[in-house]
Structure 1
Amino acid sequence: EISGSKQRQAPLGSPERQSLVDPRQVESFLDEIVMISQRSEEYNGFMLGKLRSVGGEVAGHAARENVFRGGQFNCTAREVTGYYITMEEYYVEEMVNKAIELDELTADQLVSSLVDDTFFIMQKCARRALATGSLQCCCALLTELNNILASGFRAAVAAKLANAGQRVMAAMPNDPLLDESGGGSQPHEAAVMVNNAETSGVYLHKLRQEIERAAMELFTGAAERERVKSCLADLSKTSSDFHTMAAKALEALAGAMFPRLCPALDEVAALTYQPSEAEYAAMEAEEAWTARLLLAMEARLAWLRPMLIPAAYDGLVAHLVDKVAARLEAIVSKKAFNQLGGLAMDRDVRTLVSHLAEL
């Protein structure tokens, strides 16, 4: 019944999807099969060691090993391994589906339960596959874990991430410094979706490292290690995909925030950088446009900062600074300067750089 469920089931997170068997019941069988597999691998190691200790030609050793590996015991062990792979794949799919369905977010969380629950399941299944001591199990399960993360889980994260930047900006007040409400739950939920994508990439990278360390200790043969590394390479690509997804969302958020900074930037377009000495003295005495621009940026970033994880916040700052710098470059490239104007621009740029580095 489980073996044919993949062909009949709806995608992960779909309301039409139904569990054929409670995955918690399947888990108890998985633990028992893992124990059987461990004992089988230990027995194989013992018997192969005995066969190699028998004198004779090398060709004779190979023939005896082939006969043993093709015997009834190993055929049955491989059959049990096949059952394990099918059941483990079913278990991880159904548990991730439940994590998607039961995704929750509390007011003090920066990441929803979907990410933590999913990667807890992934870690458990990866460790169990490694515990079998079977290269076939490990490679099959690593491939399955990556398929789930790259398809169903990624689709669930992307669906909730859609238009996150617009939702945040719709709730952002015109003057965040005067707003005490925090914007309600809508901007927090949208920001958490960005955090989910970034955190998924981080968690997947850590999971890959953990699996690689354990696998390199377990499998000592060069060919075995290459097979494992080939599977792990797919996990690395999926991790990069999540980081890319988060980066695009942060760039969209920075793009939505940028128009609110334009009034301060428009002041630069109206300024002259060919002042007389009297005009230059007046420019030094007045509050510079840089102060108003920095205040506008700091106010909006400070409003968003409690909602974002550090990596996402840093990414947002980088994207926003890039957009501001590009706009300033376009404005300044059209201006003419005299010596005093050059000094004024140098002062303004130094002020911007020193303050932006502290954001």
Structure 2
Amino acid sequence: MLRVIQRLEEESDLQSGILLDQFLHVRKMDQKLVDIQSLNIAMMRSNNSSTHRVTGTTGFTSPTMTSATLTGNDLTTGITSSSSTSTISNLSPLVDPRELDANLLELSLISQRASLFQGFLHERANEEMEKLDDTNDPATVLDTSSTTESTTTTTKNATIINVMTGKDRRFYGENGLLTSSGLSKRIKEVMNSFLVIDEYLLKRSMEKAMELDNYDASSSQTSTCVDDVFYILKKVMKRSISTYQPDLVMATVQTVLKSVETGYSQLLQQRLVNAFSSTDTSSSRLDRAMEQAKISYMVTLNNLDVSADYTERLIEDMKQTSRSTIWQDEEHDLIIVDKALEKLQALSNNFNRLLQNGMEQLLGQTIKPRIRPLFQESYREVKYVLEEDEYNEADLDEVFMKRFRHGFDNMINSYRKALTDSNFATLMSMVLDALTLQWERIVLQTRFNQYGSLRFDKDLRSVIQYLSSMTDWFSRDKFTRLNQIATLLNFEEPSEIYHCWGTKSGPVSWRLTVAEVKKVLSLRLDFDIDEVTSLTL
């Protein structure tokens, strides 16, 4: 039976070669590959020249632009697209994306069926080899006490030699089949065409997704390119896994990494860089232009945030898909595929890096400059040296808290509505760092008495309660230093510090240095400055 399987393998190599040659001829694959190569060169030249003509054009539509405003942008995109389409029709009448997509499906099915067929042959050959080993020498099987490892090996080799008459043993495995059959070699050659077409379609599809990118604030916090691009990536990765070729999956992952880096991540990065720099400062509508730039910037940040999340989900989905695939050497092939898929983590890391840089830029350009004026307005005509009647009146009015809340709402509301929950939580964390730092500076330049210290403690608690209600994520740890400052200011006398410092601090971890503690205590007008200075901590 093993000879029959060997003969079947030889015949399959012959017939599959004929079928594949006919397939490539009918589908005009060679001509398509030539056209794709020519088109790639033409597109590279076109992109280089258009870059000089239109610097920073990304095809992104500002979410608040009217249809009249959009016409100019669409015309710019239309010129580029029309030029590209003209180039495609002149160079490659065979390069129809829908036809190429169908070709890729056919190639993946060919690879899949070939893999299943070869797996079937090897499985049956292994079974037959085991049978031949068991029946080759009955005396050896019965006299198990005299069986040694060397005898078993000799018997097995004799069995293989018996069925390998007239064949070069160097090219055959232990099961009597070719280690690299003609079919497997032809499939690898054909799948090289698959990779070329797949890379071309991936790049063109991503370019199209970015050209048609749009944002509708009523339906989503991201623009359309995110869903479009990751739909394309999922389709590409799933199709590569369906070929049952682990090496092809590895090659596809490398293509995806390169294409996303140059065709998606780079464009999002350019949008972050150009968002505010493209605003015309001489325009009479500067405020409106800045607001549109800010919205476009936040949409890009959302795109990066969701892209990082989608990448993680893509990796997990593809791992699940690979586990339901029939691999020839399941254990070995799955290790290769998993390692390849893990490389996609680099995309998520890159998105998160760009997102972090973008959030820092957003904080520095649009929010940080407003924090100091926020406190200046909140503290206007507010003091912390109070008499009892002034304290009671301030307790009723809560002037500071009302002004702070109004100013902070105006500063942060647009971000709360436009950003994703994750991005808003990140921004709030960064804002609180800047806010507490500025508040500390103000407090350390303010004078207090006992009533004023009580008033400051209440103001601080009100602010913390208000901010904690704005997001599910909130870290009171950011206000630890201010809380400790409030605690020091509410001491009855400076020596109380001895009851909560050093070994007597208990669970309290002081964030203030000795010098800072003395400086805070010296802010109390009713404390003896000499007593504060003489504290030994």
TM range (shorter): 0.7 to 0.9
User: 8 Å contact 2:386–2:449 — kept in the other structure?
Assistant: yes
TM-score by length of 1: 0.84
Task: Judge which range, 244-253 or 153-162, deviates more.
Answer: 244-253
Residue in 1 that maps onto 2:363: 254
CA contact (8 A) 2:305 2:423 kept: yes
Q: Which residues of structure 2 form unaligned runs of 5+?
A: 1-33, 52-83, 134-152, 162-171, 471-537
Give me the whole-angstrom Cα distance separating, in 1, the residues matched to 2:110 and 2:214: 37
CA distance in 1, matches of 2:453, 2:45: 61
The separation in 1 between residues aligned to 2:45 and 2:215, in whole angstroms, is: 23
So what's the TM-score if we normalise by structure 2? 0.58
Q: Tell me the CA shift for residue 31 of structure 1.
A: 0.6
Taking the aligned partners of 1:167 and 1:351, their CA distance within structure 2 comes to 40
Q: After the TM superposition, which of the residue ranges 10-19 and 129-138 deviates more from structure 2?
A: 10-19
Quote the Cα distance in structure 2 between the aligned partners of 1:84 and 1:92. 12
Using a 3 Å threshold, how does the CA distance of structure 1 residues 317 and 356 change in structure 2: closer, same or farther?
Answer: same
Aligned to 1:208: 315
1:202 Cα deviation from its structure 2 partner: 1.7
How far apart are 1:128 and its partner, in Å? 0.6
Runs of at least 5 residues in structure 1 that lack an aligned partner in the other structure: 174-180
Taking the aligned partners of 1:65 and 1:87, their CA distance within structure 2 comes to 36
What is the CA-CA distance between 1:4 and the residue it aligns to? Answer: 6.9
CA offsets, 1:181-219, max 9 Å, x none?
999855543432222222221222211111122223435
Q: For 2:388 and 2:47, locate their aligned partners in 1 and report how far apart those are by CA, in whole Å.
A: 68
Structure-2 separation of matches of 1:160 and 1:258: 21
Q: CA deviation at 1:143?
A: 1.7
Matching residue of 2:416: 305
SS in 2 for 1:257: helix
Residue 101 of structure 2 corresponds to residue 27 of structure 1: yes
Could you tell which deviates more after superposition, 315-324 or 274-283?
A: 274-283
Letter aligned with residue 137 of structure 1: L
Looking at structure 1, the residues matched to 412 and 214 of structure 2 have their Cα atoms a distance apart, in angstroms, of 26
Q: 1:274 to 1:184 in 2, by over 3 A?
A: closer
CA distance in 1, matches of 2:446, 2:274: 37
Answer whether contact 2:276 2:290 (CA < 8 A) is retained: no
Range 152-161 or range 26-35, more displaced: 152-161
Letter in 1 for 2:396: A
Decide whether aligned partners of structure 1 residues 226 and 340 sit closer, same or farther in structure 2, where only a CA change above 3 A counts.
farther
Contact kept? 2:401, 2:462, Cα under 8 Å: yes
* Aligned equivalent of 1:37: 111
- RMSD, matched Cα: 3.4
Instruction: Choose 250-259 or 273-282, whichever is displaced more.
Output: 273-282
Q: Greater CA deviation, 27-36 or 315-324? A: 315-324
- Higher-Rg structure is 2
Residues 1:264 and 2:374 aligned together: yes
How has the CA–CA distance of structure 1 residues 36 and 155 changed in structure 2, closer, same or farther, with 3 Å as cutoff? Answer: same
Correspondence for 1:240 among 337, 343, 349: 349
Aligned in 2, Cα 1:221/1:165: closer, same or farther, shift over 3 Å? farther
Q: 1:142 to 1:185 in 2, by over 3 A?
A: same
Aligned length: 351
Q: How does 1:115-264 map to 2 (within 5 A)?
A: 115-164=226-275, 187-218=294-325, 221-255=330-364, 256-264=366-374
1:89 to 193, 196, 199: 199
| Identity across the alignment (%) | 22
Secondary structure at the counterpart of residue 10 of structure 1: helix
Distance 1:107 1:272, change over 3 A: closer
Partner of 1:176: none
1:129 positional shift = 0.7
User: After superposition, where does 1:320-359 map in structure 2 within 5 Å?
Assistant: 320-359=431-470
Assess if the C-alpha contact under 8 Å between 2:312 and 2:345 holds in 1.
yes
Bigger shift: residues 149-158 or 1-10 = 1-10
Shift in CA distance, 335/183, structure 1 to aligned 2, threshold 3 Å: closer
- Residue 123 of structure 2: which of 37, 44, 49 is its match? 49
Name the CA shift for 1:13/1:286 in 2 (closer, same or farther; >3 Å): farther
Greater mean deviation of Cα atoms: 42-51 or 192-201 = 192-201
SS in structure 2 at match of 1:63: coil
| Distance verdict in 2 for CA 1:336–1:197, change over 3 Å | same
Indicate which of 314, 319, 327 corresponds to 2:430: 319
- Structure with the bigger RCO (C-alpha within 8 Å, sep 6+) is 1
Residues 118 and 274 of structure 1, relative CA distance in 2, 3 Å threshold: same
The 1-side partners of 2:415 and 2:278 are apart by: 12
